[in-house]
Structure formats: C-alpha cells, structure tokens
Amino acid sequence: MAELEGLEFGKSDFVLLDEVTMEQFMENLRLRFEKGRIYTYIGEVVVSVNPYRQMDIYGKDTIEAYRGRELYENPPHLYAVSDAAYKAMKRRAKDTCIVISGESGAGKTEASKYIMQYIAAITNPSQRAEVESVKNVLLKSNCVLEAFGNAKTNRNDNSSRFGKYMDINFNFNGDPTGGHINNYLLEKVRGKMVEAATVIIINFFTVISALEVIGFSKEEINSIYQILASILLLGNLQFESDGESVQILGQEAVNQISELTATEPESVSKTLLYRTVATGGGEVIEKGHTEQQACFGRDAFAKALYERLFGWIVGRINTVIEVKDYNPVLHGKNTVIGVLDIYGFEIFDNNSFEQFCINYCNEKLQQLFIELILQQEQAEYQREGITWQHIDYFNNQIIVDLVEQPHKGIISILDEACLTVGNVTDTVCLDSMDTKLAQHPHYTSRKLSPSDKSMEFQKHFRIRHYAGDVTYSVEGILDKNKDLLFQDFKRLMYNSTNPVLKEMWPDGQLSITEVTKRPLTAATLFKNSIVALVDKLACKEPYYVRCIKPNEMKSPMLFDDARCQHQVAYLGLLENVMVRRAGFAYRQPYARFLQRYKMTCEYTWPNHLMASDREAVEAIVTQHGFQDDVAYGHTKLFVRTPRSLFTLEQERAALIPILVLFLQKVWRGALARMRCRRMRAIYAIMGCYKRYKVKAHFWEVERRFANVRNMADYGKSVEWPTPPAALAQFHKNTVMLHRRWWARQIVKKIPPSDMLEVRAKVAALTALSGERKDWGISRAWERDYLANARDCPQTSSGFIRVSKELRNKDEYSQVLFSGFCRKVNRFNKSTDRSLLVTDKFVYKLEPKKQYKVMKRLPLDAFTGLSLTSGVDQMVVLHTSSEDDVLLCLQRGVLCPNQDRVGELVGALVDHFTRENKQRLGSRGHMNKQHAVGLIVAGQRPQLEPSLLTQRNHFTNHTPGIYHCHSCWCSRLALNNCHEMNQSRWRF
C-alpha cells in the first residue's frame, strides 16, 4: 500500500475503500483531486487525473525519492509504476510494458513523457556517450512525433491523433541501447495538416533541434518542409467542369506543387484529372474524373502525402534507435520496456469510423487487461498455495468477436461492401450489418429497435461496449475505409527526383498492369496492427496508467462528477477494484510485512527468536485478532479486508514517534561511544607512534654515531637527525654530551705545556666569540711579554729582576699577563706604563725607571672588565671602589698587528673561573665578590646581574671616535664627555 499521506487526502489506494461502490470511488477521487493528489493506486495500477496546471512533483529530488523504492514506500506517482516496471525488467530479466489509456485531453501524452524522462534519469550512471545518445534520441522523438501527430481539437489543445507504442531495449546493465516505435491509425480527416503546420511554426526551433539531434540531415528537413507546403497547396486547388471535361482553376498552384514535389507540372495535372486503368485484356486506358472524383482524389492524395510523411519520420527515427548487430552471447539478454500511449474510449455526439476503430482497440486492450489481471491473480494464488475462488466479471470477448470475427464481424462486412463491384452506399452497408448481426446481443440499430428514437433510420447503429453504449454513424464510413488513392498518385511520387519522396512511395514502382490485388482497407490494416500490438503486450508483464479528464473547461479547480464517472465506467476502474479485492486486498512477503509491523508485537520487536518469519508474522496476526481475515501462502501473507490493514497502520503510526525517540537516544549513545572509541584509538595510535618516533630517533643516532671513536674528527662532521618534539631537550643534552666527549678526546692530545694557553683561549672564546672581530686566537699567546726578550730585548732583564723581587715579596705564584700599555687619565693625558697581572696583584710599573712599582692593587679588588668590539686595544678594569683603570695595551714591537686584548681577557677569565671552581668545591657556593663581569660592545655576558656593575662602556664606530652609551655623545677626547667627567677613573 502507499503511505506517507494522511487521511485528509483520502485513500491513496482504491482497494482500501470501505465499500466498493461508485459513490465512494468518486468521492475519494474528487477529494484527492481537490487536495492536489492527482495519482491514486488500484493495487499496482495508477489512476491519473489531469490537473490542468504545472505541478512541482517531477524534479530531480522526486526522481531520487522513487528510485529503487517499492510502490508502498512513497505516495502514488507515475515514477513509482515506472520504477516498478524497470526493476522487474532488470532484476528478473522480464520484458515489461506500461499501458497508458484514457480519452483525449486526459493527459496520456504528458504521462508518457514523464515516464520516459524518469527512465532516462535513472539509467546510465556511468554517463557512457553511446547510451546518452540513445536516451537523447528517445526523448527528442516525443517532440517530433507531437509536432507531426498532434493537433488542437475542441477537447484538447495538444491532442494525439495517433496511437504510439515504443519499445525501449536495455542491455544486461539496465542501460537503454535502442528502441522501436509503432504508430496506429493516424487521423487525417480533420484538416490535420493545417493544425500540424501551426504546431511546427509555434515550436519551430524546438522541432528543428530535435530533428538534428535524432539525425535528420538538412536535405531531409528541407524535404519535409516541401512536402508540408505541397499538402497546403493541394488544399487550395479548385476544379471546374464544362459538362464534358474537368479543368484545374489556376496553373500557378500546380506549378508550385510540381516544384515542391520535384515532378513535372504536366504529370501533376494529368494525375489530378485522369485515372489510368487496365482492362481485362491488358489494355491501358485513361479515364477522366468528374469534378467530384477530382476533389476526392485531391483530398485522398493530400491525406496520403501526410500519412506517408508521418510514417517515414517514424521509420527514420527507428533506423536511428533500433538495436543493430546485437549478439546475446556477447552482450547478455536484451530486455524491453514497452510504453503504450493509446487513445481511450471516445463517445461523442457524432461517432464515426475513427471512434469505431478507437473503441475496438480499447475493447482489445480491456480484454487483455482483464485476462492478465485475473491471470496474474490466479497464478499468484496458485503459486502461494491459496485457494482461488472464481470471480464473475464482464467478458468482452463477445464484443471483440462482433467487430473482428471473419465473415460475420463488422470489419468483414465493411470490407465486403468496399470490395463489391457497383455502387454500394453506406446505407446498403448498414442494411447488410442489420441482416447479419440482428441476433447479436451487443448490436442494434433503428431498424432493429424502431422504438429507440435516439437513432435515425439508415444512419445509425449501436454497439454495447463494456464501457457503455456507443452510437455510430455510417455516413462516409465506406469512403474512410477504402483506399481512395489511385495508383497514378503513387507512380507520380515514386518518379519524383526528390529521394525522400521516392523512398516514401515504394509501391509506386509497379506499373498499372502489375497491380492485380486491391490494397487492404483501413479497418483491416488497423485490426492487424492492434492484434500484433496485443500479442506484443501479452508476452510482457504489464503495468497500467489510467488517465481521467476532470472537466471539459480545462480548469484546475472543476471536477465534473458525471464526466468523471463516465470515464471511470468505460475504463473499468470499478471492476478493477472489485477484481483486486475479490480475493485478498493486500499481500506482502513475510519478511517485508515483518519489517513493517514487527514493532506492534512484543514477540517480534526488535527481532524475533522464532524458527521462521512466517511464525513471527502469525504471532503479529494472532496478537491483533486477525486470524480469520488472513491466509498464509508459501512466501506471502494475504489480507482479505482493508480494515485489518488500517488497524495495523494506525498502531504502527502511534508507535513510530516513540520508536523514533528511542532510536535517536540509542543512536546518539552509539555515536558518543563511537567517538570515544575513536578518540581512544587515536590517542593509542599517537602514543605508539610517538614511542616509535623516539625509538626510531635513538636507533638513528646509534646508527650514525656507532663508529665515531674510529673517525678522524670523532663524529664532528656527522649530521644529527632531527629529533621529535618530545626529545628536543634530550637532543640538546645529547649534543652537549657528544661535544664534551669530543672535546675530551681532543684535549687528551694536547701537551701539558700547552694547556695553560689552551685554557686561556677557551676562556676568551667563551667571553668574546661573536662580540669582537679579532682577539688574537690565531697566534701563540706568550702572556709574559715583558719577560720575553723578543718583545722588548732592551728591558727584559730589568723586568725579570723586578718580577723576581715582587714574587719573593708578594708571594704570587703565576704571572697571568704582562706588557706595555698607555695610561690615559681624565684630563686626556697619556703616559707609557707597564702592566703586570699576577694571580694575586695587578701592578702598574714605570718602564723608564727600571720598572718601578707605581701602584699595586689586589686582584680580588677588580669586579669587571670592559672593552670595545673594534680592533683597538682599550681596556677598562673595574674595581669595587669604583676606582676604574682605563688603559690601552700596546702591540708588540716585532708584530705591531698583535691583538693582546683577547689574551688579557682569556687569562683573567680562566684564572677567575678556576678560582671560583675551587671555592665552590670547597665551600659549596660561589663567592660573589670574586666573580668577574665582562662587557663587550654594549652587550653584557649571561652572568648573574648582581655581579655586574652598571658602568659606562663604549662602542667604536669610526677609528679614534668613541661613543658613550650613557649619553651617546661623540668626542675625540674622553674627558670632554660629561659622563666621563663624573666618573672616577684613576689608577
């Protein structure tokens, strides 16, 4: 059943009506129409009411909603029956067909277009070009066939004046590979050409585009225009008679027709005015037409031209879309979906030959419909082991026989009248039918029923169809049944130089003496085509769309009860409901029934523990007390009355909100647990990965440094691997350890005599690296330059004597540095002096007075050292008493470019470092009083701030110019700086 629609929209399936009566049927149909629900089911049959307005129910979202779903899962729709036919074709490799029927204006053509669009939309998901091409041609063919086969009538603005059956071929993947179109009974008697031309003009560009997509060449399209123009011109031809012969009024129209049909003007005139016949002796003679015969010939020629044009267009489309070179062994089974857009019953005030053929067609289709429905029902009951009860229904085989039975049927009588030599009139034909069919229960006429004044004598006969009584007029019925087109017209068109026209008239190649058999009548041709159509449909699994026209005003609001009830009657919809409900109104496989209703029973929710689904379904039925209203098949449950189903549906609808809340709760909990497990997994993976990265780093370090002991540089050139973030500090420590180890390996090779110099250079490097451009690291450091004869050969002996005396007196053990310097006081006066730095005292000596001690300061009194970042030799020694010493070291005599500042710094830093280590080792802490602070180029070393005195220091920007960092003044002489004047720099 269909769901997702409330009771305010009525019953979505007529099978579910409380009582199957015409009143309830019409009431439900009217309610759904007024609520905008134009589709309703009868089981698997779709009843469609023309809404006469555009409805937003055919978009891509709707297509997706119906794709692959069952009929009962969504509201009734054309897409549902289309999908059902497609699934049956694809899943079971079963040929299917969709039969669309209804009267003119009921929406059959639109329904067929929507079905085609749906099939095109759900196929070819891989977008293969050849399949897309086939789909485009199939869709565009609708536009072309509408342009040439539809017309505006009193009842329909776009009425299909022909029946169309299209076979769509599918490969094993379910993609369309081609198709074939059959057309039935193109109506040609209502000024059809004018209407068709109007449609083409209105939709000119759309039709041209469609023709080009299908594959019509420009020459073929031009030929179509020429033929249409010829038909219009034929309608303008007039004839006149002078009593002996007939002439054409105006030769200009004949010339134009001749030009358009690529024939000779004389041949056109001759064909219109004369008829060539062969006598019994084989002689060929020409007979002139009367004015009436000429008009009949002209009209027959125009109609035949249009009929042949339409047939050629259909054939041309078929040559494009037909499957060629299909090999089932290579390509799999080729399955088919047929779409039949056929006219429904027509009952007008004046019914003629066309209505007779159309209603006969519907009798055949109705017969097939009833037989297939009953056959399917019976086959399913037998397959499921359900006892089948015979259903009485109207068997219209008697009406079909009335029309098509050989020798006795109406078609045979018409053909006999058409083939009889002599002047057989429509009245004579009616008398023949009255004689032969007088005893038939479904045939009557005014002659047979004199009291029935709704018919006229010698004009009307009536057939009691399954859809109702229809009165037909016999006026013109023989002419419509005959082939009034003379062979001369066929030969004229076959001899045309236009290849399209020549192709349309292959029977014109026969000469007049070769034509020995009369062509079949229109009724016989139509009967043969309908029989072939029914045979095609009978071998397919059918699906039905029954279209209803709600009113004659084309209004979206008006529902004409009488009009609609008449259509419901002749479409047999009420009988269809009865047949559907005669056995069981509802059936469903056990698994699907259980899935839908298991929440209504405590023994089946959420999952049953029984041996089979059938036992679980029995538990549901028993709990609700429906045992007497159901039957159990082998695979399906059959429910007899709709009320049982409604009870289940109502209980299910009441439980749905509760279950939804429960499922939401469970699902939210499941999502939270999933997120928790995912997070745990993520952290576990992250932990494992981090451990792996750590181990991998260890392994890589071990691999790279495995052989460093045997390397010449002890691994200094080995590149360290990039550590993970967690090992950043470990990496620094490891690098430091390796550097220390590397340093120890290098230091081991240094002789003990060089260690003092090495320690001093290391100390200077620590203090001055990156701060001073040149500090003498590249040369040998001698420290005691005053005692070195190479530095001062004249005075070295005097200094050695004085140093020994001082050593004995002050008991120092080591000379840290000695050398010449220039002392500068605050008055900018400079004096040559000598500097002696020992491990206990700093001496200022007068070299000119035999190195007389000018001043002696304890080494512990010095708290810091300042120098510039340039190449000058200026040094400031800071004391705790703020009695700083400013001096400039002199370069060596032999080597005037020596930088001795670095040597002095290295000696002092090394000495104080060792002193501090000794005190720290003995006392456990550092004596701040003996710490040394160093300031170079405006940058203080990273020592404890409290150990550094906040002194002025200088930066060398240009040679000879010093800038005070306190006031940023620039002076050639330091004593001009006001900051310098306030400081106590004395020695």
Binding site members: 102-109
The answer to whether 548 and 26 are in contact (CB under 8 A) is: no
What does the CA dihedral 735, 738, 742, 744 come to, rounded to 10 degrees? 120
Non-local (6+) Cβ contacts of 363 within 8 A are 396, 399, 400, 403, 465, 466
Burial label, 752 (beta-carbon count in 10 A; 0-12, 13-18, 19+): exposed
Measured from the Cβ of residue 33, the count of other Cβ atoms closer than 10 Å reads 22
Burial label, 83 (beta-carbon count in 10 A; 0-12, 13-18, 19+): buried
Q: Which three-class secondary structure string do you get for 908-945? A: HHHHHHHHHHHHHHHHCCCCHHHCCEEEECCECCCCCH
The Cα diameter of the chain in Å comes to: 175
Would you state the structure tokens that stand for residue 33, as one six-digit string?
Answer: 């129409």
Would you state the structure tokens that stand for residue 551, as one six-digit string?
Answer: 């009113």
Q: Which three-class secondary structure string do you get for 390-422? A: CCCCCCCHHHHHHHHCCCCCHHHHHHHHHHCCC
User: Residue 851 and residue 805: Cα distance in Å, rounded?
Assistant: 11
Closest CA to 441 of 377, 382, 404, 397: 397
The answer to whether 938 and 867 are in contact (CB under 8 A) is: no
Closest CA to 880 of 862, 865, 855: 862
Non-local (6+) Cβ contacts of 456 within 8 A are 446
Query: What is the number of H-type helices and E-type strands within the chain?
Result: 30, 30
Measured from the Cβ of residue 198, the count of other Cβ atoms closer than 10 Å reads 12
Annotated binding-site positions for ATP: 102-109
Q: Where are the alpha helices (DSSP H) in 244-290?
A: 252-261, 265-273
Tell me which residue has tokens 């026989």.
Answer: 401
Burial label, 864 (beta-carbon count in 10 A; 0-12, 13-18, 19+): buried
User: Residue 8 and residue 636: Cα distance in Å, rounded?
Assistant: 30
Within 13 A of 685's CA, how many CA atoms are on the CB side?
A: 6
Q: Which residues pair with 159 in a beta bridge?
A: 151
User: Residue 610 and residue 619: Cα distance in Å, rounded?
Assistant: 10
Would you state the structure tokens that stand for residue 81, as one six-digit string?
Answer: 């029956």
Q: How far is CA 652 from the centre of its chain?
A: 35
Phi-psi region of 36 (alpha: psi -120 to 50; beta: other; left: phi over 0): left
Indicate the length of the chain as a whole number: 987
Burial label, 63 (beta-carbon count in 10 A; 0-12, 13-18, 19+): middle
Closest CA to 185 of 210, 214, 155, 163: 163
Tell me which residue has tokens 């068109």.
Answer: 493
Q: How far is CA 125 from the centre of its chain?
A: 10
On the question of a cis peptide bond just before residue 606, with omega within 30 degrees of 0, the verdict is: yes
CA–CA distances in Å: residue 495 to residues 500, 531, 547 = 11, 34, 45
